[in-house]
Structure 1
Amino acid sequence: MEPVVDNPSILEAILFVAESPVPIEELAEVLEVGLDEVESDLQVLGERMKGGGLELRNVGGGWRLYT
């Protein structure tokens, strides 16, 4: 049985510690998935974060979390 992987949570952790915007291509490489899947996972993450203290933004050629 393969472990369940929660890519949106992994993306949140990566972006939380990133010092600058992370390009989607780099996120796809780290997760070992395609760009379409990362885009979908980022959308899920953005929905999860609504109403919280952090906001997901696409800026400077990459993705970043803001307070």
Structure 2
Amino acid sequence: MGYGLGCLLEMRKLLEFDFSAAIDGAIKDETAKIGAVEDEVLDERIVECKKWLLPPDHFSSYSIFKHSIF
């Protein structure tokens, strides 16, 4: 029972595949996703802090301005 040429070529591709590069790429991708989420959370915290520091009417006027330009 022998293997066909196509099957042998696929097996060779698997053996030559650089698994460490694939793993490194996956880790970098997940790290980037985690960093983006951390940035988003930080932005939300900054907004929450500004709400405490700025007068209450500041955000209502900003909301009206924001809706008028979009």
TM-score over 0.5 (shorter chain): no
Higher relative contact order (CA 8 A, sep 6+): 1
Report the structure, 1 or 2, having the larger helix content: 2
Report the structure, 1 or 2, having the larger strand content: 1
* TM-score of the two chains, using structure 1 as the length reference: 0.28
* TM-score of the two chains, using structure 2 as the length reference: 0.27
Larger radius of gyration: 2
